[in-house]
Amino acid sequence: MAPLQQKIKVLECCQVSPPSGSVPSTILPLTFLDIPWLLFSPSQPLFFYDFPHTTSHFKQTILSNFKTSLSFTLQYFFPLAGNLIIPPQPALPHLSYTSGDSVSLTIAESTADFNQLSGYNQIRGVQDFHQLVPQMPKNCDLLGIDQESRYSLLAVQITIFPECGISIGFSLCHVAADERTFNNFLKVWAAIFRTGLELYLPALNKNLPYYDRSVIRDTNGLEPILWKQWWNQICLPKLLVDNFDMVRSTFVMGRPDMEVIKGWIMSRSEKLFGSVQLLLSPYVITCSYIWVCWLKANMQHIEDPIEKTEPHYFGFIAGGITRLGYSVPVTYVGNCIAFGRAMARRNELLGENGIVFAAKAIGDTINELDRNVLGGVENWISDWKVFCGSGLHITVTGSPKVDLYSLDFGLGGPRKIEEISIDNTGSVSLCESREMVGGIEIGLALPLAKMEAFRVLYNEGLKIFPKTLPRDMG
């Protein structure tokens, strides 16, 4: 697919720090829940907003407020303005904030078609988006460490599409913050932008960010195990997807479709699994359908794929705030999530009951996380290698519970949200639907031929789902 005709002009590059003297120099250790994220490349969420004005109008009216409100917000989320410090062994990586540390802010202007980039129905080349998010080192850049290294944790880029809109793109190193933390940061920034710090301060004081890492209890001595695995893993090559000729597309799973799929699964589950009651939440239903369609689309040209019984894995994250068994403030700044890895056999997933096997595998994994969210933590890093070793395992990123479509910088909610990092990682992104209450948006980046196969499988499967899910509609 030919890229959009786009020229990016950088108008300004600056550094935004917390207000002078507002935050003391601070060192934050990494908890065992942070360590696995050292292996992951930065996430790159991108928000499109309608803004039918000129670049000069943007610069004259709201650019200053973006900078000022970001500075005030970093006063309360100062770790994001700091750095990841990776010293030589045996010293341990940690987060460091020193007075004057900052977040990089880039202001740019684009000539691209804003409506096409922010649309739902178009297939677009992945390269069209890369200039709209700031670049930071990927996980594979953290190699060959023989001296202390410092890595930024957050960068921001605002791009103006004259007379049409703006985009706000981020690069976030997840070792500093999970999606819950980053969502809190964005909501505070947007609120300060709209109302000013003075008016928002009473509400903020009731829910101040919480930094004390001792709230995360390592009663099972997991930290040294994960540190050892990380040092061993960092010297291995990392699998990054070659995104040449890849395209992006968004699919929306609405509640009516979920109900149809749920009924179909329930009609077949008793015959397959007896009286076992399956967990069939909207998340499980959507992920199960994605898994089957994605696997079929990626195996279009493999001979006799259905005869194989090899395992396939579906990786996802699960919130830990409510699962740890002890209290952690919802405003905790750091990672408090677990990794889930569901497994099903290839012949099960590609058979006529594939969606049922997928739903049981994902649901059982979530149920196990509910019972023991830290079960298998010692294997999180070693299990991660499974996903790097094959292109036929799938991971999802993001959550439909984070409500990012309510993020309002005085411009209304976002017109469209994209997760750009999936171009390199091969993951599937999830977020809540903007237009369908209870719906889930699914973001994919695939080679064009596989995207077309996925589109047919996804759309045609929904049309005939009450009857059957065909083995091969490609």
- The DSSP line for 339-392 is EEEEEEEHHHHHSTTHHHHHHHHHHHHHHHHHH-TTTTGGGHHHHHHHHHS-TT
- DSSP run (H or E) holding 209: none
Query: Residues 34, 94, 101, 174: which is the catalytic one?
Result: 174
Q: What is the dihedral of CA 185, 186, 187, 191, to 10 degrees?
A: 100
Residue 472 is among the residues annotated as catalytic for this protein: no
- Residue type at 50 in one-letter notation: D
Residue 408 is among the residues annotated as catalytic for this protein: yes
- The DSSP line for 271-290 is HHHTTPPP---HHHHHHHHH
Alpha-carbon distance of 306 to 187, in angstroms, equals 46
CA dist 227 → 33, 92, 218, 281 (Å): 11, 8, 13, 35
CA dist 200 → 189, 197, 403 (Å): 10, 5, 20
Alpha-carbon distance of 473 to 464, in angstroms, equals 11
Alpha-carbon distance of 186 to 180, in angstroms, equals 10
Q: Dihedral sign for Cα 467, 469, 470, 474, please.
A: positive
Pairing of strands 94-97, 26-29: antiparallel
Phi, psi of 467 (to 5 degrees): -95, -60
Q: Which residues are catalytic?
A: 174, 408
